[in-house]
Structure 1
Amino acid sequence: KKVRFNYFTVNLMPTEMPPNMQDRVADGPWDMTELLDYLSVIQNQIDGVINVGDYIAEFDRHTLIEGTQGIYSFQIAKLRQTNISKKRIGDPKEDLELQEDEYIGEFVTVVFDSRYCTVAIQSNMYSLNTNQVEVFLTEIRNRYKEIQGEADPTPFMVSLNPIIDESKIDRIQNADIFRKVVVRGSNYMADSMADNDSLEEVSGLIGRAGGVNFELTLSVGIAPKTESLDADLIEEIIQGFHLAEVKPKVEISARQDIESPIDVVNLL
């Protein structure tokens, strides 16, 4: 079984920019060491339960580990109480009865490297997504600063910026045969790519349908292994991904040539 991680720089950026600074880059790296050292002492008081939208999430302080060379790992739990059931094969499902303070926890692992102010976040479709992790880290940072009696000169939010492996893009662009491409994201991600002349029709379709999330799959199916998707279309999607400010998840399956095995590349 494989566990996949996505990599991000951890930055702080102002929640609002003055009109005369809209075109400036105003974010900077955030070193989480001080916060994590505080959280590592269970006796230190802080409310680690945070509303992240449709769910609440909790910093599981018992999972916090400080490794060597400034490496920390911890888990955040997405907590839910609804739509929970158990089932035996052949029997109808049964609702699980939870106490008022009991939840089902779906965990995401985060590894922080203080040397580079980067995080590796486990790819787990059942737990928190990247935006929810940003909301969580922003709020727990605010609570910590309040405990310390500190205040930012202007409100900041945590921003996780994906670290893109350019070699993956180079490798996939040099392929001769493209078998499948899958693009997953939200409506505003499609809009971001449409701004760069990619997925423009998809963005319009999502808007007309009132959709919030989308998954686009293009595949040659079980066609002979020499068959390929249109290379110009793949190039357009890759370039749109590369230029988009808000990036969807893009997975491309390709062969370097007819004799090569299929290479599956996740651009994010």
Structure 2
Amino acid sequence: MARLSSRADAPVLEVRGLTVRFGAFQALADVSWQVSAGKILGIIGPNGAGKSTCFMAATNMVAHTGTLWLDGEDASARPAHDLPRAGLRRTFQQNAFFGGMTVLENMEAALLDARPSPLAEAVFLPWREARRRRTIAERARTHLLAYHVPESTHGLLPGELSYGTQRMLSIALAAAPGARAVLLDEPAAGLGGPDMIALRSLLERMRDSGLAVVLIEHHMDLVMAIADEVVVLDLGRMIARGRPAEIQADARVREAYLGRAA
């Protein structure tokens, strides 16, 4: 199907009417949102609101109704494992790496996956493949440094990193060249102090580089400071959508966060 629009502000990622049921339980009901290049969309809501389910549906990792559009193309039927190569990447609440590979090797693998080597070239032109591998290694180092993963850690296994650096590595892998939209599931969880400052800088860098970023987060100060638009979920439904100042003033949002505790 043809692209819907070539406008610069056309959404990179758009979901329409996402609905998810687990048996008789409706986890998500008719949720729609979109994010354009160079923008950050925040998704917030109380525990159990359906935020992570929304990410699962938006990456075709769970059965759902509704549609998913990536760069104007209907991607609703694409298998989940095919979406990263198409430019839709995500992180998880729990860091996930190749544990037996170094930090640099993890990054190289992400770059190689985005641009796999032709088999014939690898077999019959080994010198060209060796040069390509050296180029990939240099790009991996440069990318890691840009994402606050120090060079002193590149030879370590991911499990040997501090928790904060693991989070940065997770984001760096998701945002490897070829990414168009990156979904971050609670990247600030467990972070504080300098790591939070580094994370905010990283998110701003991603936006400035032209990525479309969707952020699930419980740290409201972070979301309200950097998001261009915020969607609020409660009990699987979207109850508000707007700019941060509008969300902060919305009585429905205050009720969702505070009403049941009153």
TM superposition score normalised by structure 2: 0.28
Say which structure is richer in strand: 1
Say which structure is richer in helix: 2
* Higher RCO (C-alpha under 8 Å, 6+ residues apart): 2
TM superposition score normalised by structure 1: 0.28
Q: Which has the larger radius of gyration?
A: 1
